[in-house]
Structure 1
Amino acid sequence: MSQTPTADQLRNRLVDAILAEHRMPAAVERAMRTVPRDAFLPGLDLENAYTDQAVTIKDNPGKPLPLSCASVPSVVAMMLEQLDARTADDVLEIGAGTGYNAALLAELANRGSVTTVDIDPDVALHARTRLNANGYEHVTVIERDGLLGAPENAPYDRIIATVGVWDIPATWWDQLNDGGRLVLPLRWRGQTRSVALTRRGDQLVSDGMELCGFVPIIGQHGEKISPLNADDTIRVHYDEDQDVDPNSLAATLQMGKPALEVHSAQRVGGQEPFDGVWLRATAGDDRVCRLEVTPQALEQELLRRPAIPVRSPVLVEGDSLAYLTITREGAEAERPFRLGAAAYGPRAEELARDLVAHIDAWGSDRLAVPRMTITPVGWASTAGHVIGKPESRITLTY
């Protein structure tokens, strides 16, 4: 009879599985093999504690996303690699969650300090309790709005956010050392990327970004969501600086006309990512938003199926829109799926062709990632496409 695997065995098996798919620095690997994730998720069975998936620790009644959760372990490892915390670093974490990530940070910065902040008293208490129970009493846990940071322990060599951030508050600039690193799930134009940034005087300059998804931080309201039909089964997500008229878009979709479709020259395999299309488009086009289509809308065939129904890039202008599609063409081909655009409204053809141009630009160098430079409001931006936010300016260049 086979024996039930122990927590240590399951933890090492999980780390081995992550290593088989993703690179991981030796220090991060040691930390993930050391810290018992199950101890920060009491009540969850061991198998689920060591599965590469997120775990909700506090629901958010009436909202589509939980208030707090334990992040996917492979994403945790990826962000820790981006952070590159050193043994003597002073580290600030925004979003305490279970306390697990703070424990990993304490292993990495074992001769420095770790401070973690969370706005929710239950979440902060859970993190404090679990950290104490597992030998991490030296980690500072503060119940506070994460947008304020933790000036009492500043300055920091590393700041990491484990919640989605739409704008970088001035307080974080004040608390990050020059030469220090900031890693955060940054939200713009409907997408979220874990961006690794190094402070160089009055600039934060990126050296990497990865697709991710995180619960948004409480207190930032620059992202808008509007229904495009009476049943609220089709929605557009956009930023406050974008010129979006949901009523006009809804009227266009209600006309029930078939989509105008334009195919690109770009094909992808079944497991080949194409999220770079969205990223590429945001580096020069302020019309990029996110389209969300629920299963109910798809069943009713209210519009042509988007590439990824819950989140696809869409160009919006006036009463017209064009969004990303994927069409299967030939099961035997190495890349059997063709990318394209479906569009509605008076400017459908123009928008569809503009989106296809973004797809083809991505296709010319599929692994290219833009350089992101962020400056505080009031400071001069560098050359490139600028996205303005209340407290910062984001510049993207390829």
Structure 2
Amino acid sequence: MNDTPTVDDRRNQLVDRIVADRPLPAAVERALRTVHREEHLPGLDPADAYTDQAVTIKDNPSGPQPLSCASVPSVVAMMLAQLDAQPGEHVLEIGAGTGYNAALLAELVGPEGEVTTVDIDADVALHAREALNRTGYERVRVMERDGLRGAPEFGPYDRMIATVGIWDVPAPWWQQLADGGRLVLPLRWRGQTRSVALTRQGGRLVSDGMELCGFVPVIGQNGERTAELADGTIRLHYDQDQAVDSGLLADVFASPFTEEWSNAHVAGDESFDGIWLRATAFDDSVCRIEVTQEALGQGVRRPAIPVRSPAVVVGGSLAYLIVQRDDDTAQRPFRLGAVGYGPDGPDLARRLVSHITAWSQDRTAVPHMTVLPAGALLDDLPAGHGILKEDCRIVLDYERNSA
């Protein structure tokens, strides 16, 4: 008797694991069990196609991140649940990837619906086209196109979804999403990324949920900046509207540091990214710090996560999130705090601790987000904390979501 799982077994086992962690709409679960991911990843062992991991399909010769990859299946499922595509709808996907997500969308909208997927890279678009043809989804429209332009000739769309990281909501998308239509995108601000579900209500987009995620950034948006410190062993990643001056911070890590500790504790497998999210809704100084092993070896205080921890930066001082094991007998043995460098480091560390404390009082809360075109009148802005990008304004508000 051969007990080796078949490809179908592996597909269903993966979906079983995803559903056990996060209940899905029946239509999304059915699509995941129907579409053959391995057919979109030729040359890969089918067993590897059904692990909950991303798979690179095109490397980037000029950087560490791939040009294109097949997204983590559980993230694909989460975003499709956010999108809530219905039979007969017209859907636009930005980022064709392997064509796998477009095939799932085709299952969701059915034969009466339409799916258009676009990708700026000719090789990626061709890969998607061939995979979709091979698996019986010839009706999906694949276009080699800058996704920031969308595909107005086939709009308006009931649903739009981006499967690449987006720093700004491009102006052309506003005209292509029908009023009442839904947009799901991995939106990046202040160094962190959330998959945000937005519904168009006239001249604005309003959220009803956001989830932590990470995606390869879209080509053509350059709103994030990087400041290299300590001979390039430490990097700050910040938005173009933030006043970060690397010259003022040149010697900041040569100064003594100050630690401040909160009363908040976490378990080893407990996410604390909500601290970062909450801080962005109140504090314009929040960005991301990346500390290399070389810097750690030179005595720089270890961030909570060396490659991606929230920091606050003002002038020639900064502070960032740290963690230490506090009580091995407790259910949550790790204590959260902040370390500050520079003359105002202690004050900034206390500021970050205040964000930790606020998060700890309601760890699952997420802000309400309103997105408006960049030219929207100030009188039209809802109450909350505003972040200005090139093509849009974002307003974040925790009070509204807790009401």
Q: TM-score range by the shorter chain?
A: over 0.9
Q: Are the counterparts in 2 of residues 228 and 247 from structure 1 also a CA contact under 8 Å? A: no
- Uncovered stretches (5+) of structure 2, i.e. residues with no partner: 399-403
Structure 2 equivalent of residue 47 of structure 1: 47
Q: How far does the alpha carbon of each residue in 1:6-43 deviate from its partner, in whole angstroms, 9 at most, with x for none?
A: 11110001000111111111000000000000000000
What is the distance in 1 between the residues matched to 2:47 and 2:234?
Answer: 36
What is the distance in 2 between the residues matched to 1:99 and 1:48?
Answer: 17
Taking structure 1 as the reference length, what is the TM-score of the superposition? 0.98
Structure 2 equivalent of residue 224 of structure 1: 225
Amino acid at match of 1:307: A
Structure 2 equivalent of residue 325 of structure 1: 322
Structure 2 equivalent of residue 245 of structure 1: 245
What is the distance in 2 between the residues matched to 1:22 and 1:302?
Answer: 41
2:343 to 334, 343, 346: 346
Structure 2 equivalent of residue 144 of structure 1: 145
When the two chains are superposed, the root-mean-square deviation of aligned CA atoms in Å is 0.9
Q: Find the residue that maps to 2:250 and give its secondary structure.
A: helix
1:132-211 maps to which residues of 2 (within 5 A)?
Answer: 132-211=133-212
What is the distance in 2 between the residues matched to 1:390 and 1:186?
Answer: 14
Q: What is the percent sequence identity of the aligned residues?
A: 66
Q: How far does the alpha carbon of each residue in 1:249-298 deviate from its partner, in whole angstroms, 9 at most, with x for none?
A: 23211x2x332000011111111111000000000100000001122322
Is 1:58 the counterpart of 2:55 in the alignment? no
Q: How far does the alpha carbon of each residue in 1:58-96 deviate from its partner, in whole angstroms, 9 at most, with x for none?
A: 000130200000000000000000000001110000000
Structure 1 equivalent of residue 307 of structure 2: 310
Structure 2 equivalent of residue 285 of structure 1: 283
Deviation, 1:2, is: 4.1
What is the distance in 1 between the residues matched to 2:81 and 2:293?
Answer: 36
1:337 to 326, 330, 334: 334
Q: Find the residue that maps to 1:105 and give its secondary structure.
A: helix
What is the distance in 2 between the residues matched to 1:363 and 1:43?
Answer: 46
Amino acid at match of 1:243: A
What is the distance in 2 between the residues matched to 1:322 and 1:75?
Answer: 31
1:276 to 274, 277, 291: 274
What is the distance in 1 between the residues matched to 2:139 and 2:147?
Answer: 20
1:377-388 maps to which residues of 2 (within 5 A)?
Answer: 377-379=374-376, 380-388=380-388
1:54-93 maps to which residues of 2 (within 5 A)?
Answer: 54-93=54-93
Is 1:376 the counterpart of 2:363 in the alignment? no
Structure 1 equivalent of residue 106 of structure 2: 106
What is the distance in 2 between the residues matched to 1:168 and 1:27?
Answer: 28
Taking structure 2 as the reference length, what is the TM-score of the superposition? 0.96
Q: Are the counterparts in 2 of residues 258 and 303 from structure 1 also a CA contact under 8 Å? A: no
- Uncovered stretches (5+) of structure 1, i.e. residues with no partner: none
Structure 2 equivalent of residue 119 of structure 1: 120
What is the distance in 2 between the residues matched to 1:354 and 1:321?
Answer: 11
Q: Find the residue that maps to 1:246 and give its secondary structure.
A: coil
Q: How far does the alpha carbon of each residue in 1:163-210 deviate from its partner, in whole angstroms, 9 at most, with x for none?
A: 000000111010000000000000000000000000000110000000
Q: How many residues align?
A: 394
Structure 2 equivalent of residue 15 of structure 1: 15
Q: Find the residue that maps to 1:64 and give its secondary structure.
A: coil
What is the distance in 1 between the residues matched to 2:389 and 2:262?
Answer: 32
Amino acid at match of 1:144: R
Q: Find the residue that maps to 1:273 and give its secondary structure.
A: coil
What is the distance in 1 between the residues matched to 2:293 and 2:163?
Answer: 29
What is the distance in 1 between the residues matched to 2:323 and 2:235?
Answer: 19
Q: Find the residue that maps to 1:224 and give its secondary structure.
A: strand
Q: Find the residue that maps to 1:247 and give its secondary structure.
A: coil
What is the distance in 2 between the residues matched to 1:349 and 1:3?
Answer: 61
Q: How far does the alpha carbon of each residue in 1:193-235 deviate from its partner, in whole angstroms, 9 at most, with x for none?
A: 00000000011000000000000000001001121121x2210
Q: How far does the alpha carbon of each residue in 1:338-378 deviate from its partner, in whole angstroms, 9 at most, with x for none?
A: 10001100001110110001111111111111000000011
Q: Find the residue that maps to 1:127 and give its secondary structure.
A: helix
What is the distance in 2 between the residues matched to 1:391 and 1:347?
Answer: 34
